[in-house]
Amino acid sequence: MIIHLRMIAVTVSSALGKLLHQSEDLHKPPHKKKYHALLQWLESHRSKLVATFPGIEDEMMQVHFVLRSDEYITDSMLEEFRRLPGVEAAYRKPEDSLPE
């Protein structure tokens, strides 16, 4: 079961957001090739992207996700994640912010 130690808010590209809302399966070609590094990072860190607004059709809102992981994501891991294809921003929500 994937737990959440600290919430990490993520913004992805509109193309990736649309794909994730349509199927959540990037393992199928041609998406696997384009997002191979992202898939590899998520798998190696036992993590997944969870839609902030599941099922929404508004493309402006489809880009918002939460990174959930079985392990603590360090600052260096987060920096590596930010550089992956399709990831536009990722930040750790402050401890005193509203719960998700």
Q: Model pTM greater than 0.85?
A: no
Res 84 pLDDT > 80: yes
Residue 3 has pLDDT above 60, yes or no: no
pLDDT above 70 covers a percentage of the chain that reads 79
Q: So what's the pLDDT on residue 60?
A: 93
Is residue 1 predicted with pLDDT exceeding 50? no
CB 65 within 8 A of CB 52: yes
Read off the pLDDT of residues 64-73 as tens digits, 9 standing for 90 and up.
999 999 889 9
Q: Exposed, middle or buried by CB within 10 Å (0-12, 13-18, 19+), for 30? A: exposed
Span 28-47, mean pLDDT?
84
Residues contacting 98, CB < 8 A, separation 6+: none
Q: Which of 74, 73, 37, 68 lies closest to 50, judged by CA? A: 68
Q: What is the mean pLDDT of the chain?
A: 84
